[in-house]
Amino acid sequence: MNRKRHSPGGSLCAAGMLFYFLAFLLPAVRDASMTGYILAVAVPCLIFLGSYMLPHLVPVDRLLMTLTNLFCAMGVLLRFSMSPSLAIRQAVCFGIGILVMVCSAAMMQRVRPGAGFLLPAAAISLLLTGLPLLGKNSVGLPGWMELGQSSLQPGELGKPLLIPVLAGLLSRRRLLPALGFCAALLSLLLLQRDLCGALILGGTAVLLFWGATGNWILLILGLAAETALAGAGGLLLPSFRLSFLVPPVSPADTESAALPLQNCFQLVSSGGLWGAGLGLSSPQEIPSGQSEFSFALLCHSFGFIAGVCFLMLYAALLWRGSSAARTARRSFPGLGAMGAVILIGLQTFAAVSSTLQLLPLTGAALPFISSNETSLIACLGLVGLIHGVSGMNEIALEEDASLAMLERSGA
């Protein structure tokens, strides 16, 4: 009964499946692309499995799941317009991300914020964040490291762990250890010159501290520290800004490094209100590896109105996640879900704003849609935290209902 009440995403999911089926099928028919045919079946199947089947197996929020699936499928579609092989890779990461999401939800439902969980999780997340300092960075962007034939961002994979650690410490009112943990993370990120990652993580920590304690002084001090960090990194140290410009063609050459930014902005504006059309856009305008331009590519292909719709869907996702956090019975899951919501929200804002030239090009990946595969898996892991809390809320509601029935029958 409760599950039905909490699953209003059915029609949205069906519409999304139909849209993506046609969106992959039509270019596949036009270009006689076998990859297109495969994706036309595989992507709607992934959406179906995630949105219809998974809620029957594990307690997850179906609307949240549907929204997440629609975002991820859009990422695959955008990659398909660039290169079919990229789309296949993105679809595989989408599938892996769903598995990570299920694991993350199960972790959130089972762990207790004791030392047995907090210490190892904090150590692993610090290790993952600091790992790029030890490895070889062939991408040239902060936070990346080479692993075999490919590159990844290990710090992103630490996000689904660091949020529960922070939530656990805050729920137990261990403010000093929480501050120390955040300081260590920020130091590691700044050592990698990842100013954007540090600002997003710092903002998440500040808002989560305020959400847990309600301490206005802490909030003001935290925001002031964030502003000072942004000012120092972005203005006083131009090398910081240069390190975030994409692609790192020549770190010394400001003009050539600023060129992709112009392309990105023009890509959004040239799409107009309704876009250049599916398969008719010119994604070759932007470098294929630059995940930060996903929103620009979305607006160019489907128009600015589609961009607005997707931002509204992001807002819906944030609100849904926040409602799971608000209805949590205990502080730890509530703070965990809220931390995930804040991190996704700030990352979305950073990615969209830098695409639209409201902020310097930061290097933040648009959650779920970006071609940054590590970010995709990490974001799905973060959503898994929210699913875990949502599942706990549902179980609590069912227990309440059964208790009420027992009391009524006893009376």
Q: Tell me phi and psi for residue 371, to 5 degrees.
A: -80, 0
- Buried b / exposed e over 188-216, threshold 16 CB at 10 Å, is bbbebbbbbbbbbbbbbbbbbbbbbeeee
Nearer to other proteins, 184 or 311 (CB): 311
Could you give the string, one character per residue 159-198, with x where binding to other proteins holds by CB under 8 A and - elsewhere? ----------------------------------------
Using CB atoms within 10 A of its CB, is residue 149 exposed (0-12), middle (13-18) or buried (19+)? exposed
Is residue 220 a contact residue for other proteins (CB under 8 A)?
no
Which DSSP letter does residue 286 get?
A: S
Tell me whether residue 151 or residue 362 sits nearer to other proteins (CB atom).
Answer: 362
Instruction: Give min distance, CB of 86 to other proteins, in A.
Output: 25
Distances (CA, A) of 247 to 105, 133, 258, 260, 321: 35, 20, 9, 7, 34
Residue 375 CB, shortest distance to other proteins, in Å, is 18
As a whole number of angstroms, the distance between CA 406 and CA 285 comes to 65
Q: Rule CB under 8 A: say whether 301 interacts with other proteins.
A: no
One residue of 221, 259, 272, 403 binding other proteins per CB under 8 A: 272
Under the binding rule (CB under 8 A), the answer on residue 303 touching other proteins is yes
Helix (H), strand (E), coil (C) string for 110-125 = HCCCCHHHHHHHHHHH
Check binding of 150 to other proteins (CB under 8 A).
no
271 is a contact residue toward other proteins (CB under 8 A): yes
Closest alpha carbon to 230 in 263, 190, 265: 190
- Interface pick for other proteins out of 349, 395, 397, 398 (rule CB under 8 A): 349
| Nearest-angstrom CA–CA distance, 16 and 74 | 10
Per-position x/- string for 350-379, each x denoting binding to other proteins as judged by CB under 8 A, each - no binding: --xx--x-x---------------------
Q: Which residues bind other proteins (CB under 8 A)?
A: 207, 210-212, 214, 265-266, 268-274, 276, 299, 303-304, 307-308, 311, 314-315, 318-319, 322, 325-326, 331, 334, 338, 341-342, 345-346, 348-349, 352-353, 356, 358
